[in-house]
């Protein structure tokens, strides 16, 4: 008999999912931004308060990879918001509720996107875990 036969991974995954869902709900309720999950991505944001006009132009988006798979908007958005207003944050998701390790952040202007690359590429999000932030091909 295998040592793994009696493991209830479904139960473990459900407990993990419920914990992350609780964090997600608290984050959403505390900041007033909308979330939408569509086509394997969770989308945070939309126009920031006071935004008028069309969506930001090309060049305002950065690609973020090496995101820990149990890291979500409640950790990521505050970090990127320190650089400048975030227009939209898209986190690629697995059907199990964990992220795929990458996402996109769209700022309101090109200068903030460039600054995010300078300041946040190789940013230590957790001990020994460093984000990779590069220009997105938007």
Say which residue, 14 or 60, is predicted with more confidence. Answer: 60
Sorted by sequence, the CB contacts under 8 Å of residue 89 that are 6+ apart come out as: 43, 44, 45, 73, 76, 77, 80, 103, 104, 105, 106
Average pLDDT of the segment spanning 32-44: 70
- pLDDT of the residue at 6: 42
Extract the tokens encoding 110. Answer: 């090109």
Count the residues in the chain. Answer: 138
66 touches 131 (CB < 8 A) = yes
3-state SS, residue 133: strand
- pLDDT of the residue at 51: 85
Extract the tokens encoding 90. Answer: 């898209």
pTM, two decimal places: 0.74
Q: Does pLDDT of 34 surpass 60? A: no
């Amino acid at each position: 008999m295998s040592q793994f036969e009696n493991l209830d991974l479904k139960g473990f995954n459900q407990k993990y999912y419920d914990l992350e869902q609780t964090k997600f709900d608290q984050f959403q309720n505390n900041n007033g931004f909308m979330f939408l999950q569509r086509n394997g991505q969770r989308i945070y944001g939309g126009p920031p308060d006071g935004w008028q006009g069309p969506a930001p132009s090309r060049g305002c988006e950065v690609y973020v990879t090496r995101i820990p798979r149990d890291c979500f908007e409640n950790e990521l958005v505050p970090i990127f918001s320190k650089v400048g207003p975030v227009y939209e944050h898209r986190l690629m998701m697995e059907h199990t509720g964990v992220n795929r390790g990458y996402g996109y952040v769209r700022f309101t202007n090109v200068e903030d996107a460039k600054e995010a690359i300078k300041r946040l590429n190789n940013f230590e999000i957790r001990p020994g875990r460093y984000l990779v932030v590069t220009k997105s091909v938007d």
